[in-house]
Amino acid sequence: MTISPGQPWGSAFHRDVAGEHTGEDLPIVGNDSDLAAFATAHPGSRVRLVGGDLFRTLGAPDSGRLDRGEAVAFPIDLLEVDVGDGTRRLAAAHVVARRGSLWVHRTVVVMNASFIGPLNLGPKAHPNDGRADATDGRLAARDRWSARGRMAAGTHLPHPELKVSRSDALSFDLDRPSPLFLDGVSLGPVRRFTVRVIPDALEVVA
């Protein structure tokens, strides 16, 4: 069940509970695209996450938490992306449509995690609230320069030229084909795409 405001998120992962994984025998993934690939092949599974933008959103826990018995199992939503070719793909952290640098042309950023690299482009995004956070628009050169210094802290929003929305299902029609990136991996140019949240799609231990 997705998290509600004010509720604690995740549960303690105990290595010594009978019938549970010890931690060492859990599959390990180190980035967002590999996590999405794992979830595609093993829906509803549990996996140990050790890197990527979703991992940073979880606070980038140190690896020693598992040895100290302090690891946490987090239920995670995923993003299902449909570009109209009959194939639906998963993303773990973010989906981005852009031509060139962010906001130079129309840019669409759909966040399940908070971060893309060092940039906090989803300051209100939560990986288990059942919704994706989207920012859509373009910025003039002066505004891009101003926003650039604030994106690391997520304070570039709100902005009058950037439309922000939150939903469990989002559709976008672009003014011209733009490269679409799922967790940083390019699918090539698309003209339209939809994103649907799959709640509680898997559980990550970190």
pTM (2 d.p.) = 0.91
Q: 74 Cβ partners below 8 Å, 6+ apart?
A: 9, 10, 58, 127, 128, 203, 204, 205, 206
Domain boundaries, the chain: 11-77, 80-198
Q: 148 Cβ partners below 8 Å, 6+ apart?
A: none
Phi–psi pair at 121, nearest 5 degrees:
-90, -5
Task: Let me know: does 202 contact 40? Beta carbons within 8 Å.
Answer: no
pLDDT in tens, the chain (206 residues): 677 666 778 888 866 544 455 555 789 999 999 999 999 999 999 999 999 999 999 999 887 888 788 899 999 999 999 999 888 999 999 999 999 999 999 999 999 999 999 999 999 999 999 999 999 999 999 989 888 889 889 889 999 999 999 999 999 999 999 999 999 999 999 999 999 999 999 999 99
CATH of 80-198, one of 2.30.30.90, 3.50.50.60, 2.60.200.40, 3.40.50.300: 2.60.200.40
Q: How many CB atoms lie within 10 A of CB 19?
A: 4
Return the DSSP state at 117. Answer: T
